[in-house]
Amino acid sequence: GTWCPLNMSQQAVNGVSHRGKVLTLDSMNPNVKRVEYAVRGPIVQRAVQIEKELKEGVKKPFTEVIKANIGDAHAMGQKPITFLRQVLALCSYPELLEDNMFPEDAKKRARRILESCGGHSIGAYSASQGIECIRQDVARYIERRDGGIPSSPDNIYLSTGASDAIVTMLKLLVCGEGRSRTGVMISIPQYPLYSAALADLGAVQISYYLDEDKCWSLDVAELRRALNAARQHCNPRVLCIINPGNPTGQVQSRQCIEDVIRFAKEEHLFLMADEVYQDNVYAEGCKFHSFKKVLFEMGPEYSSTVEMASFHSTSKCYMGECGFRGGYMEVINMDPEVKAQLTKLVSVRLCPPVPGQALLDLVVNPPQPDEPSYTTFMKERTAVLAALAEKARLTEETFNTVPGITCNPVQGAMYTFPRITLPQKAIDKAKEEGQVPDMYYCMRLLEEEGICLVPGSGFGQREGTFHFRMTILPPTEKLKVVLQKIREFHLRFTQEFS
Amino acid sequence: LGSTYTTLISVVSSKVTGVVRSLTSPPLSSSSPGRALSSLSATRRGLPQEKMSENGMVSRAKVLTIDTMNPTVKKVEYAVRGPIVQRAVELERELSEGMKKPFAEVIKANIGDAHAMGQQPITFFRQVLALCSYPELLNDSTFPEDAKSRAHRILQSCGGNSMGSYSASQGIDSVRQDVARYIERRDGGVPCDPDDIYLTTGASDGIVTMLKLLVCGEGAARTGVMISIPQYPLYSAALAELGAVQINYYLNEETCWSLDIGELQRALDEARQYCNPRALCIINPGNPTGQVQSRECIEDVIRFAAKERLFLMADEVYQDNVYAEGCQFHSFKKVLFEMGPEYSNTVELASFHSTSKCYMGECGFRGGYMEIINMDDEVKAQLTKLVSVRLCPPVPGQALMDLVVNPPQPGEPSYDNFIKERTATLSALAQKAKLTEQVLNTVQGISCNPVQGAMYSFPRITIPEKAIKEATDKGQQPDMFYCMKMLEETGICLVPGSGFGQKDGTYHFRMTILPPNDKLQILLNKVKEFHQRFTQQYS
């Protein structure tokens, strides 16, 4: 693998077969090698392979692969919201503005978006921070959501999905070497974007554990334990929270959010609040509280000091428009010099995709009660959210009837993360095959039932416990089948190894 | 009012930062920052919350300050959207607020943003995108059948038949197949495997991803990447952020910005003293310099890369933008394969393309792809894993990419109109390329190479000694000083050559040739008058 410069030229004379590649596993970026992203990991690759095999006529014990590994609503049959797509069609092909098949409010939105695009085309680059009038609409949306707490469009950065903004913020925060290297606190279980980004950036991951016995709630004592332990080997500077939780589906109480904010202030941590599931709250008694609102209600002692970034996206909630890669972040109390650096950094990538920006505008500025599209919009929106609530309940209920599976209520978001009991013999068998036990379990489920889940080990879990993540997105009838199949598989699996 | 307020805040906060910096910098730089911080918070923990608020915000440093942020991000510079563009945006706001200026509008010739300059989208593309966005339109008889069949095909390859679902991280299968067939046609039948195609979020995304894969080592073993000077500043920005070593090789302005192997060798040999050069980046047609590489030159570059064991990165986003007579676009891949298996089996290459340039100019959709050739299988698996973290490139951009590589065919209803629009755009660009070169070369103190391709002119300007001195006194680069003055006096926004790199003691600016013909004419005249005035003022 290693060549000295002299050898290189000489080696070239010998030609083809003697040459190693310039770029090999040994000579590539070591941080990239450490990146792991289970949601699209080996199990999904196998699922894609099986789909191909099915198409080629290979016989399987099932006729289709159901990909319940990812929160991809439209792929699961959820229909797009009519109004959103009408406006996007109008923006794509403005000749349609002359067509009277489109409602006036859709045309009005499209005109407004086009007017704020260079040359009135969504094909022009936008400002790197995002189209100004959309940032204004986002700010007004946040103000309405948070009961009037002011939001400045200057603090809004549109992004390529929430992932983009999360990685950008983490990138800003990482510095130092050795023991002064930036540490970032993330929940376990976590959404693996976080661990992947931290590996890529060479930052230190600090794991704090959610309490499965209390419906995956967050406990400040656990935060403190994790922080104190981490201070021995790195410089903890950031605390990431996902609320509603992914993969765990809990919705944080107002009290808990206050505690987290107090903790962040006390311990001098930058807060990152991943709130992409803010409209996905199903459980009775649960309500979404934005970190920003709680922060400001705690008074100026907090609201003028605690640094925070909050993230949102077009991919979840009732929209499920993942493919458009729309999103935004709001930064609060960010140092103006750092903000200038952030603006510069995002400018290198020119701008987030403009169709995604347009879509985000519609999400934050939907049809109003006096507009022609309002009734249909509300009907569609309510239907999606009600179906999700029903599926959240169904999933929890069904799993909890299976011996060896225990499942917390899916209070919000789009996933269930049930705990599974694996027989010792199965654990041994997995080890023999060099696999993590829950990966072995999920692979078997995929091969036998065609259901693609993500093993809990991809998200992190307390040692000795095993889980999987499953989306609740399949249509109700299909979901029932999926749940039934998992039930049967689990019983069979348990019997086989007992 | 708004801007005064902001200034005030930033003054206050920088004072605050200053004070606190002096308090906290010893623990931050000491060997045990953890202990220092935790003992601080331990004392705080003992205090009632109310006590802390007495001192309030002033006593606390921010968690994230300019001193404690990622140092590699600070080193990033991107002139194309730098201070001059920020000032241009300010001027636009001032104009809209009714402020008097010596001009009525700001003309942003800083960036290759075709639609913003009035270029109309290609009808066929937008019809298909509208159909994909709102499939109910498939029942509308006003859309041509070929647009409908393309939309149908794209939707069928989307999960749930919706552009709103995530695609495979590498990109939609059928789109990658179409890209591969397009490359095969372009390269006279040289085979292309869809597995080697990665769809991206604009070409920038593909370029940064490839560079990220390549960077490793520390100190003298740190990866070095060769880039042309002048360069497109995405490269220097990405290298700064990745902490890689930038190796400059200079294009030869006297021979129409051509690339010389002797210069590559010089740059490489010098760089081997302090880093490990592993990649060579080429932009063809050139940005900002507009040259189109000859076949011979590309062969030389490939031989050089093979001999010196360099990974080749070919930025070919302007592949349809070739105007000068006698010039032709040759893809690195085609040349590589025509050089025989000794090269085509060994030289590692990534080639980049985009929907943002050429005749499409669809920058806002962030569509693009890269093709990788001879990449190690294990590395490829790592690449696939890496791109999966960001889930997928925007699907509307992927759909658009599909149309670019699979446009209307003869016999299809949209063909004639498509060709008409495409030809009109490209021939207007060719004409503007010529016009720009001609007019600028009539100005004493400006000399301009032919714009053989791409979308920019990068003329050399003579700046009088006195102006250089005044700029230096102000702490500005002389060409930044020149461009700022031009912006304030004429409303024309260009990018100073220093943002791209240039030989010491020479000065340039980059200007797009994209404004509509009549506007470009006015713009060129204004540049001419400004230059004369400027030269006179400082002589």
List, for residues B152-184, the tens digit of each pLDDT value.
999 999 999 999 999 999 999 999 999 999 999
| Domains annotated on chain A, with CATH | 31-76+378-497 (3.90.1150.10), 107-364 (3.40.640.10)
Inter-chain CB proximity B134 and A88 less than 8 Å: yes
> pLDDT at residue B52 above 50?
no
pLDDT score of B492: 95
Q: Could you give the C-alpha distances from B539 to B440, B441, B471, B504, in angstroms and in order?
A: 20, 20, 14, 21
Min Cα distance B465 → chain A (Å) is 32
| Candidate CATH numbers 3.40.50.300, 3.90.1150.10, 3.40.50.1970, 3.40.50.1000; the one for domain B75-118+417-538 | 3.90.1150.10
Inter-chain CB proximity B166 and A322 less than 8 Å: yes
Q: Which residues in chain B have their CB less than 8 angstroms from residue A197's CB?
A: 389
Look at residue B45 and give its three-state secondary structure: helix
Inter-chain CB proximity A27 and B278 less than 8 Å: yes
Any idea of the CA torsion for B433, B435, B436, B438, to the nearest 10 degrees?
A: 120
Q: Which residue on chain A is closest to B340 by alpha carbon? A: A16
Min Cα distance A355 → chain B (Å) is 7
> pLDDT at residue B7 above 90?
no
> pLDDT at residue A166 above 80?
yes
Inter-chain CB proximity B115 and A121 less than 8 Å: yes
Of the candidates A74, A228, A345, the beta carbon closest to that of B76 is on: A345
Q: Could you give the C-alpha distances from B25 to B11, B18, B29, B232, B391, in angstroms and in order?
A: 20, 10, 6, 37, 39
Count of CB pairs separated by less than 8 Å, A with B: 362
Min Cα distance A192 → chain B (Å) is 8
pLDDT category of residue A10 using cuts at 50, 70 and 90: very low
Domain boundaries, chain B: 75-118+417-538, 123-129+164-405
CATH number at B123-129+164-405: 3.40.640.10
Rg of chain B over CA atoms, in angstroms? Answer: 26
H or E element, residue B461? strand B460-461
pLDDT category of residue B1 using cuts at 50, 70 and 90: very low
> pLDDT at residue B436 above 70?
yes
Min Cα distance A73 → chain B (Å) is 7
* Edge-to-edge strands, sheet with B276-283: B197-201, B367-373, B349-354, B311-315, B276-283, B223-229, B245-250
- Between strands B245-250 and B223-229, the pairing is parallel
Residue type at B15?
Answer: K
pLDDT category of residue B37 using cuts at 50, 70 and 90: very low
Inter-chain CB proximity B164 and A74 less than 8 Å: yes
- Average pLDDT estimate for B220-228: 96
Inter-chain CB proximity A29 and B78 less than 8 Å: no
> pLDDT at residue A436 above 50?
yes
Token pair in block for residue B258: 């051509």
Inter-chain CB proximity B363 and A353 less than 8 Å: no
pLDDT category of residue A422 using cuts at 50, 70 and 90: very high
Q: Which residues in chain B have their CB less than 8 angstroms from residue A301's CB?
A: 49, 52-53, 56
Min Cα distance A234 → chain B (Å) is 7
Interhelix angle B234-242/A336-348, rounded to 10 degrees, is 120
Inter-chain CB proximity A323 and B212 less than 8 Å: no
Q: CA-CA distance, A27 to A199, in Å (whole number)? A: 17
Burial class (CB in 10 A: 0-12, 13-18, 19+), A363: buried
Of the candidates B33, B62, B73, the beta carbon closest to that of A180 is on: B33
Of the candidates B34, B142, B234, the beta carbon closest to that of A232 is on: B34
- Average pLDDT estimate for A422-449: 95
> pLDDT at residue B186 above 80?
yes
Residue-wise over B407-428: b if at least 16 C-beta within 10 A, else e? Answer: bbeeebebbeebeebbeebbeb
Min Cα distance A45 → chain B (Å) is 10
- Average pLDDT estimate for B494-511: 94
Q: CA-CA distance, B173 to B158, in Å (whole number)? A: 9
H or E element, residue B265? helix B261-271
Inter-chain CB proximity A323 and B394 less than 8 Å: yes
Inter-chain CB proximity B169 and A40 less than 8 Å: yes
> pLDDT at residue A2 above 50?
no
Min Cα distance B284 → chain A (Å) is 20
Q: Which residue on chain A is closest to B269 by alpha carbon? A: A5
pLDDT category of residue A19 using cuts at 50, 70 and 90: low
H or E element, residue B234? helix B234-242
Strand partners, A241: A273
Q: Which residue on chain B is closest to A475 by alpha carbon? A: B160
Min Cα distance A404 → chain B (Å) is 32
Inter-chain CB proximity A353 and B130 less than 8 Å: no
Min Cα distance B36 → chain A (Å) is 10
Q: Which residue on chain A is closest to B361 by alpha carbon? A: A123
Q: Which residues in chain A have their CB less than 8 angstroms from residue B165's CB?
A: 72-75, 322-323
CB neighbours (10 Å) of residue A386? 12
> pLDDT at residue B16 above 60?
no
> pLDDT at residue B257 above 60?
yes
pLDDT category of residue A109 using cuts at 50, 70 and 90: very high
Inter-chain CB proximity B364 and A25 less than 8 Å: no
Q: Which residues in chain A have their CB less than 8 angstroms from residue B204's CB?
A: 348-350
Q: Which residue on chain B is closest to A175 by alpha carbon? A: B70
Min Cα distance B506 → chain A (Å) is 25
Tell me if the bond preceding A153 is cis, omega within 30° of 0.
no
Token pair in block for residue B531: 């230059």
A336 contacts A74 by C-beta, under 8 angstroms: no
pLDDT tens profile A257-280: 999 999 999 999 999 999 999 999
Q: Which residues in chain B have their CB less than 8 angstroms from residue A304's CB?
A: 56-57
Q: How far is CA B55 from the centre of its chain?
A: 47
Token pair in block for residue B203: 């070409």
Token pair in block for residue B286: 């050139």
| Listed range (A445-449, B73-77, B119-123, B349-353) with the worst mean pLDDT | B73-77
Residue B72 or B284, more confident = B284
Min Cα distance B418 → chain A (Å) is 15
Q: Mean pLDDT in chain B?
A: 88
> pLDDT at residue A173 above 60?
yes
Of the candidates A24, A193, A321, the beta carbon closest to that of B389 is on: A193
pLDDT score of B83: 85
Q: Which residue has the tokens 């089948």?
A: A481
Inter-chain CB proximity A235 and B34 less than 8 Å: yes
Inter-chain CB proximity B64 and A228 less than 8 Å: no
Token pair in block for residue B266: 């010089």
pLDDT tens profile B258-299: 999 999 999 999 999 999 999 999 999 999 999 999 999 999
The DSSP secondary structure of B329-376, one letter per residue, reads ---HHHHHHHT-HHHHTT--EEEEEESSSTTT--GGG-EEEEEEES--
Look at residue B225 and give its three-state secondary structure: strand
Inter-chain CB proximity A74 and B159 less than 8 Å: yes
Q: Which residues in chain B have their CB less than 8 angstroms from residue A80's CB?
A: 162, 164
Interhelix angle A132-145/A104-115, rounded to 10 degrees, is 120
pLDDT score of B78: 80
Inter-chain CB proximity B56 and A335 less than 8 Å: no
A415 contacts A471 by C-beta, under 8 angstroms: yes
Q: CA-CA distance, B352 to B499, in Å (whole number)? A: 22
Inter-chain CB proximity A23 and B45 less than 8 Å: no
Q: Which residue has the tokens 């990405």?
A: B238
Inter-chain CB proximity A174 and B346 less than 8 Å: no
Q: Which residues in chain A have their CB less than 8 angstroms from residue B241's CB?
A: 171, 345, 348
Inter-chain CB proximity A23 and B163 less than 8 Å: no
Q: Which of B222, B265, B270, B391 would you mutate first to test chain A, the one with the most A CBs within 10 A?
A: B391
Inter-chain CB proximity B64 and A338 less than 8 Å: yes
Q: CA-CA distance, A382 to B346, in Å (whole number)? A: 58
What DSSP state is assigned to residue B120? P
Q: Which residues in chain B have their CB less than 8 angstroms from residue A5's CB?
A: 272
pLDDT category of residue A183 using cuts at 50, 70 and 90: very high
End-to-end alpha carbon distance in chain A: 48
Q: CA-CA distance, B259 to B228, in Å (whole number)? A: 9
Token pair in block for residue A256: 């808990």
Inter-chain CB proximity A179 and B34 less than 8 Å: yes
Strand partners, A186: A207
> pLDDT at residue B364 above 90?
yes
Strand partners, B198: B370
Min Cα distance B48 → chain A (Å) is 11
